[in-house]
Structure 1
């Protein structure tokens, strides 16, 4: 993926990793379009970054996605980079005796179906470009779960597997398929405490490392994974799965 001269659409672009990516890519001279459900947040970010465009999108609403697609095809026909970043995370206690599937269904609707709907909507436009990139935000937890977030981790494992198949099926088309697998980052994904947790990686630092990897083409198998997360990625292969799982999920 070239880091300049693109027309880039980022879902979930008003907060967290999506926002940091939008700002960094805008600063590199790209036309950046951000989407989200919070119109005020979109407007504020675009005011801070003249030339950035904010468009409303609720991935749970098919009509909202159709409206966005129609506008993008007319206003931004040169769209060549899609970053399907929108996602939610919620803890679940399956052993509480009071668990129901409401949170799990919401996670699946956004993290899985939202990505599938986004890709299905914009893939035809991407394939019309000479060079295009499709990136989806997974998680390092796709490879080794944090058991208190079972559906969230499972949703990212689904994305990992699905992106492998998508990459293979698109291998003869001019669309690069990348999987962004962040570690624990200072965002509000799980609440305000995460955004200031000193154990979490600063989001700007994370995005800068991602951009450096993109510049070097350092994403084997299409995976954008920091070096610090390689032990988790290959824990089962290296015989470390049980030890790392126990470390992440103490009894």
Structure 2
């Protein structure tokens, strides 16, 4: 992946990993468009920075995504990088019958949203030089956290979808997967202050260093996520599931 001189669209750019990736890419000489639901949060991301733009989109609405993609391409015809980062994480109680609205919203936001936006932009990106798509999954795609079952499932699906996308777009669009460990963000309440989670700045530093490697790794794996990513291969999958279950 070319590290500078791009026009990059990042969903979920109003906070956390999306916000910090946007700012870091902008500092490297990229035009960056941050997208999300809350304009106020997006405007905080871009405040005082050149070549950064904020655009709202409802990733749960398929028609809104189609219209948004058309608008992005019209306003930023040099768009050549898509980073699907937007996501939600909800705790669920699997021990009883429950309202499934959280699970359904998680599937729409975390899985259908990236699929729909990627689909809407594929033809455009395939015609651009140095085009890339980066999908953000999670270490929990490989070892599930039992209290967030639908989140884990959507991230496992994103991993699988990314593999297929990479194969089909080979030679046209570079396809990368970013696999975060537990990072200090506000993905869930109080997460940003958990001492056992990876500091956001450290995660971004290591991520950007990996993105500079040539060739770019297919999967961006900071050291702290390797325990989960390779749990099954390395024979400690059951141990990892148990560890997360008492987390």
For 1:235, the equivalent position in structure 2 comes to: 231
Unaligned runs of 5+ in 2: none
Aligned length: 247
Query: Conserved in 2, the CA contact under 8 Å of 1:112 and 1:158?
Result: yes
TM-score of the pair, normalised by structure 1: 0.94
Are the structure 2 counterparts of residues 123 and 148 from structure 1 closer, same or farther at C-alpha, using a change threshold of 3 Å? same
Deviations 1:165-223 (A, max 9, x none): 111111132x11011110101111011x1011111111121111111001013754x11
Distance 2:222 2:45 in 1: 27
Query: Conserved in 2, the CA contact under 8 Å of 1:6 and 1:81?
Result: yes
Query: Conserved in 1, the CA contact under 8 Å of 2:179 and 2:219?
Result: yes
For 2:85, the equivalent position in structure 1 comes to: 85
For 2:241, the equivalent position in structure 1 comes to: 245
User: What is the DSSP-based 3-state SS (H/G/I as helix, E as strand, rest coil) of the residue aligned with 2:89?
Assistant: coil
For 1:104, the equivalent position in structure 2 comes to: 103
Residue 246 (structure 1) shift: 1.4
User: What is the DSSP-based 3-state SS (H/G/I as helix, E as strand, rest coil) of the residue aligned with 1:79?
Assistant: coil
TM-score of the pair, normalised by structure 2: 0.95
Question: What stretches of structure 1 move > 3 A for 4+ residues in a row?
Answer: 217-220
Residue 98 (structure 1) shift: 4.4
Deviations 1:26-66 (A, max 9, x none): 11110000001001112232223233100011011233223
Distance 1:35 1:135 in 2: 15
User: What is the DSSP-based 3-state SS (H/G/I as helix, E as strand, rest coil) of the residue aligned with 1:141?
Assistant: helix
Unaligned runs of 5+ in 1: none
Query: Conserved in 1, the CA contact under 8 Å of 2:2 and 2:130?
Result: no
Query: Conserved in 1, the CA contact under 8 Å of 2:15 and 2:45?
Result: no
